[in-house]
């Protein structure tokens, strides 16, 4: 296992993101949108196992995780990532085509930094969630 990179030192350093979704079309669209807005998409995954391996290999700052990963649950992945040592643990943001209200109770009880609907996905939406959670430029983390 390689040593994790040091944390971001300045707000002008791009956020490194791992996209986790079982829909290849969404992964392509999300990557294009985020990279156009200055987010570095360092990797993509479609399953919990792939996401865990990519997290270990890439050490992303944030993992954007679909609530429904086909036969797996994005909530389960968030829990698994929360068990990683702090120096390896990315911030996690859940996403779905459905409204946040549809998952409010589960989101409130999980360690994710927040939630962004797929139609509202943008670099600024990610930064806003991270800032509100104290994990990004706006939150000083």
As a three-state string, the secondary structure of the chain is CCCCCCCCCCCCCCCEEEEECCCHHHHHHHHHHHHHCCCEEEEEECCHHHHHHHHHHHCCCEEEEECEECCEEHHHHHHHHHCCCCCCCCEEEEEECCCHHHHHHHHHCCCCCEEEEHHHCCHHHHHHHHHHCCCCHHHCC
The pLDDT value recorded for residue 7 is 44
Give the predicted TM-score (pTM) of the model.
0.84
Encode pLDDT of 86-105 as tens digits: 888 999 999 999 877 778 88
Write out pLDDT tens, residues 53-99: 999 999 999 999 999 999 999 999 999 999 999 888 999 999 999 87
Full set of structural domains in the chain with CATH: 16-139 (3.40.50.2300)
Average per-residue pLDDT in the chain? Answer: 86
């Amino acid at each position: 296992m390689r040593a994790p990179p040091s944390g971001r030192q300045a707000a002008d350093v791009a956020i490194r993101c791992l996209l986790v979704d079982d829909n290849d079309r969404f992964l392509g669209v999300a990557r294009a949108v985020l990279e156009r807005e200055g987010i570095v998409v360092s990797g993509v995954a479609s399953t919990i196992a792939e996401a865990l391996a990519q997290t270990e290999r890439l050490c992303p700052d944030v993992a954007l995780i679909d609530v429904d990963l086909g036969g797996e649950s994005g909530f389960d992945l968030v829990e698994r990532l929360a068990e990683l040592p702090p120096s390896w643990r990315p911030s996690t943001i859940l996403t779905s085509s459905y409204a946040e209200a549809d998952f409010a109770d589960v989101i409130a009880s999980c360690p994710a930094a927040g939630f962004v609907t797929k139609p509202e996905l943008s670099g600024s939406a990610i930064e806003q969630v991270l800032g509100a959670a104290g994990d990004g430029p706006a939150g000083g983390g």
